[in-house]
Amino acid sequence: MTQNRATTRLGLDISHFNDRLDRWSPGDILAWAWETFKPKAIASSSFQTQSVPLLHIIAQVCPEMPVIFIDTGFHFLETLAFRDELQARYGLNIVVVRPAVRKSQLLERYGGGLYRRDPDLCCYINKVEPMQRMLVGMSAWVSGVRRDQTTHRSSLRVLELQPTGLLKIHPMLNWTKQEVWEYIERHRLPYHPLYPAGYLSVGCAPCTRPISTSEEERAGRWAGTEKTECGLHTEWGNLEFLNSVNVEE
Ligand code: SF4
């Protein structure tokens, strides 16, 4: 039913159009997305090394598109510095959003170490909720996820319709890790300052560790737990999940 509604609003068949988009470059997908949905389209980024190709292409194709950075309060200082460096270098339209529950309130309500005891709740409060707020009234959300990153992501399509009617757009979906690195080298793009120390995938400091060369790209995220996703790309629009987390007013 939701698929049919989206087909009517966009005037295209999502499934059929996905087959075409699989053959488009990230730049062409981004140009189409901005032209089709502006100003109701935003991108999001965690500003790590592998994010840079998408940000670089946004800067070429649609520099006006807002790029959301969720400041959880738990980032490495190096990530904040890298974000500022990329903004200065490429003129990105970065919008910083913070959780409704501030870090001091979080500590007061739940004590320290919530990320260890209940990382799903911690991610909901610090990532999912602020992103949900930014997406109110939006038609499209661009993110840099790739099929080769996790099991969940391997089954995604370039266009993913959410239960709310929001269209998620994944311009980098079909790129491999190798293509990302070739692009970085070809365009001499900057690396996250922690990359040389083994941080291939960087999230919040308490939930990220460096990895060895034999490990998967995201093995350092929530290491030692079953968790592989923060919820931004799995639970958004999952009303059962959103209702199940108990966030005090
Ligand atoms: S990544 Fe860790 S610290 Fe950051 S929001 Fe999720 S659980 Fe909390």
pLDDT score at 2:
44
Cβ atoms within 10 Å of 157's Cβ, excluding its own:
17
Strand order in the sheet with 140-142: 93-97, 66-70, 41-44, 140-142, 167-169, 159-161
Tokens at 150, concatenated:
């996790």
CATH class of 2-243: alpha beta
pTM to 2 decimal places: 0.88
- pLDDT tens readout for residues 96-109: 999 999 888 999 99
- pLDDT tens readout for residues 164-185: 889 999 999 999 999 999 999 9
Is the model's pLDDT at 224 over the cut of 60? Answer: yes
Does residue 47 have its Cβ closer than 6 Å to ligand 1? no
* Residue spans per domain, the chain: 2-243
Distance 36 CA to ligand 1 centre (A): 34
Distance 125 CA to ligand 1 centre (A): 9
Does residue 171 have its Cβ closer than 6 Å to ligand 1? no
Q: Of ligand 1's atoms, which has the minimum distance to the CA of residue 221?
A: 1
Does residue 46 have its Cβ closer than 6 Å to ligand 1? no
Is the model's pLDDT at 18 over the cut of 90? Answer: yes
